[in-house]
Amino acid sequence: MQRMTYRVKVSTLRAKRRLSYLLRPSKRTLNLKSNLVPSIPYSPSARFSKTKKLVQLSSIALLSLPADSLTTMKAQVPAYNKVMLQKTLIIAAVPGDSTYFATDGFQHGFGYDLVRGYADELGVGIELKAYASDKAALRALQSGAADMALTTASSQLKNQLELSSINVSCGYDTSLTDNGLNPKVSWTFKQADDPLSQKASYFLCDRIKLESTQSLAAFYNQNLLKDAYSQQHFKKTLTEKLPDYQSSFKKQAKDYNHDWELLVAMGYQESHLDADAVSPTGVRGIMMLTNSTAEAMGVADRVDPLQSIGGGARYLEEMKSTFQDVPQTDRIWFALAAYNMGPNAIKRIQKHLDSDGINDKNWANIYNYLSENKASNSRYEQCMQYVSNIRSYIETMKMQTV
């Protein structure tokens, strides 16, 4: 071993001497210039020969370096550094009921909302790249096309690709399975020792964050239309009643800048698309408007389908405008909650969260507050169910699972 080390050192030293000798100024050239003797004519072939020799000698010197020097030269920049420098977290994700949905202008989903929370903590934005399969998303991560992956890939596949992974439930899988979510949903990183991966682990597995994750899982509950009765009732309503009102939903959605299927989901939640519906409290019509709301929205006849849908669409637009400072991805949930419970009730919750140093413009935090305090206020539980149900209906229509 000593002899081999000595030969490497000697070889390195000789290579350096050769390079030094070759690169030092020629005495003959200096003398010619100092004596004002005409310079030697330029020769491309001679210059090429000299360059070739330089490359050969440089290669010899490089190969003579110790192995640890080469490793240092090839060291990769941590993904965390790149993310913080570019202020963007690039996610390779596979669409699904446990990862994310992309529905006409905004992205949401259980896994996606968790990623947004992490990005907010890092102070960076998100760029989501969709892939058709777990393997394709993980390959993108492996190649450097993404900083992390959001998938439900098997441990076998992730191990095969030599990637590091964190289960978003941190071992509390029942919090996902009880809500119909895939317990394998995870965040995957290229290196386990990358700060991006290590910080993600602390973020997900913090005790307070775990409670928030469990509440978020309840919001994204996928069991609502899993039982046969609910599924058949929803499908029957869309088949038999929606055709009579579909043109009205589309017209009012266009007039007030909404997704028409979102309005359908609201109408189903409010009245099961029954134009003559009346509640014990006196609200009426497809969108179940109160007298005061109908008057404010210019609705003269609450049981007239077109007027009722128009009144609901206009009121929802006002709620969206009220929460203009909320990021678009969460604004629709705020607007729906305000539609159900009133904007001032939501603003009071925001004020309470803000006083505790909690982000009051994040829907997961609002939903968690509703969940924690529903025992003392029945309206909170009603609001939670209202928004969750509409989310489920619109996802079901978009995914065409009925």
What are the backbone angles phi and psi of residue 237, rounded to the nearest 5°?
-65, -45
CB-CB contact of 382 with 258 (8 Å): no
Hey, what are 100's tokens? 């994310």
* Amino acid in the structure at residue 193: D
Q: Which residue in 317, 285, 326, 321 sits closest to 303, CA to CA?
A: 285
CB-CB contact of 362 with 120 (8 Å): yes
CB-CB contact of 182 with 176 (8 Å): yes
Residues 6+ apart with CB under 8 A from 163: 138, 141, 142, 149, 188, 189, 190
Which residue out of 121, 240, 270, 318 is catalytically annotated? 270
- Give the distance between the most distant pair of CA atoms in the chain: 112
Note the Cα 175 to chain centre separation in Å.
20
Catalytic site includes residue 121: no
Rounded Cα distance between 384 and 119, Å, is: 25
Q: Which residues are catalytic?
A: 270
